[in-house]
Amino acid sequence: MSVSLVDVETVDDGADQAERFRTLAREQLPKLYSIARRLVGGDAEDAVQDCLLRAFQRFGQLREAAAGPAWLTRILINGCRDRGRAIGRSPKQVELDEVEEFSLFRKIAYEDPFPYSDSLHLDFLDEFGSEDVRAVIMELPMLYRIPVVLVYMDGYLAREVANMLDIPLGTVLARLHRGRKLFEKQLWDYADTNGLLRRATR
Amino acid sequence: MITCSEATRQLWEYLDATADEATREAIEEHLSRCRACCGELEFARELRRFLASSAHDEVPDGVLRRLNDTLEELGP
């Protein structure tokens, strides 16, 4: 039987609450898993499992059913952030000042990796498969990876991310800016070191 | 008029509509005179599409089954 999420403030027995939670979680599983894959890679399943257990324990705190999806995502994101800290991933150190002035557009035009192309920049992006994009995203420090994934891959607004992370909007915008710059620089470095450019010039 | 460097640094904020009014006007004024930065803008749009289209990971069947098993075990 499908149970709709109408009013989680209603006092009822635990069985109904569990069923409502399951309904919400099942609907959100594909999205939660997708976000987790990009934030913690191969630990995605564990991250979603942790999220489900934590969220179920706190389900009574959810005040509005309509806020359920964002509430679940928030729990997932915070779990992924802790997980990133706990396992001590140390993405490449990047010189942030150097990155600030980097322009992938200009780099591609200058290096001209596709001499016979009339759509140089699009051809560059076409060299990347989904696993390549995932690898580049995973190189971003978690601080920048979270806003970049949520805003540019999952379509959240910057202010929604600010609410999720409990940080000011200006901080999210600054991290998005730096995260994009790092992403552009790492796209080029990844293509260069993984043979995508050599493949293209054959 | 702002420089190319100043304009390109804020192109994504311009596309995201998070740039303030004065910045937006300065960028538009710059773009109306600078073909190179129009190329940067078009590429920024492509890069956004590229990221958005890389978004979805299917949940593998085994993972979905295990996650659903976890949900089934939750109860009062």
CB-CB under 8 Å, A14 with B75: yes
CB-CB under 8 Å, A152 with B51: yes
pLDDT digits (tens, 9 = 90+) for A19-39: 999 999 999 999 999 999 999
Interface residue A190 vs chain B (CB under 8 A)? no
b (16+ CB within 10 A) / e for A42-57: ebbbebbbbbbeebbe
Residue A105 has pLDDT above 60, yes or no: yes
Mean pLDDT within A185-200: 86
Thinking of the domain A14-86, which architecture would CATH place it in?
Answer: Orthogonal Bundle (1.10)
* Confidence at A1, pLDDT banded by 50, 70, 90: very low
| Region of poorest pLDDT, from A7-11, A33-37, A114-118 | A7-11
Q: Give the CATH fold of the A96-201 domain.
A: Arc Repressor Mutant, subunit A (1.10.10)
By Cβ distance, the residue of B13, B63, B72 closest to A45 is B63
pLDDT digits (tens, 9 = 90+) for A70-79: 999 999 999 9
Residue type, A186: Q
Residue A158 has pLDDT above 60, yes or no: yes
Question: What does the pLDDT read at residue A11?
Answer: 42
Q: Which residues of B touch A30 (CB under 8 A)?
A: 56, 58-59
Q: Which residues of A touch B75 (CB under 8 A)?
A: 14-15, 18
Interface residue A104 vs chain B (CB under 8 A)? yes
Q: Which domain holds residue B39?
A: 4-73
Q: How far is A86 from chain B (nearest CA, A)?
A: 23
- Which residue on chain B is closest to A106 by alpha carbon? B40
Residues belonging to chain A? 202
The DSSP call for residue A151 is I
Residue type, A66: A
CB-CB under 8 Å, B46 with A125: yes
DSSP letters along B2-71, please?
--HHHHHHTHHHHHHT-S-HHHHHHHHHHHTT-HHHHHHHHHHHHHHHHHHHT---PPPHHHHHHHHHHH
- Report the interhelical angle of B35-53 vs B21-31 (nearest 10°): 120
Q: How far is B59 from chain A (nearest CA, A)?
A: 6
Residue type, B68: N
Residue A167 has pLDDT above 60, yes or no: yes
- Report the interhelical angle of A169-193 vs A104-111 (nearest 10°): 20
Measure the CA–CA gap between B10 and B7, rounded to whole angstroms: 6
pLDDT digits (tens, 9 = 90+) for B2-47: 898 888 888 888 988 888 899 999 999 999 999 989 999 999 999 9
Domain spans of chain A, in order of start: 14-86, 96-201
By Cβ distance, the residue of B46, B54, B55 closest to A121 is B46
Question: What does the pLDDT read at residue A80?
Answer: 93
Q: Which residues contact B32 (CB under 8 A, 6 or more apart)?
A: none
Mean pLDDT within A163-187: 92
| Region of poorest pLDDT, from A8-17, A29-38, A46-55, A98-107 | A8-17
| Region of poorest pLDDT, from A87-91, A108-112, A193-197, B64-68 | A87-91
Is pLDDT larger for residue A14 or for residue A110? A110
Question: What does the pLDDT read at residue A200?
Answer: 57
- Domain count along chain B: 1
Question: What does the pLDDT read at residue A9?
Answer: 46
By Cβ distance, the residue of B43, B54, B59 closest to A133 is B54
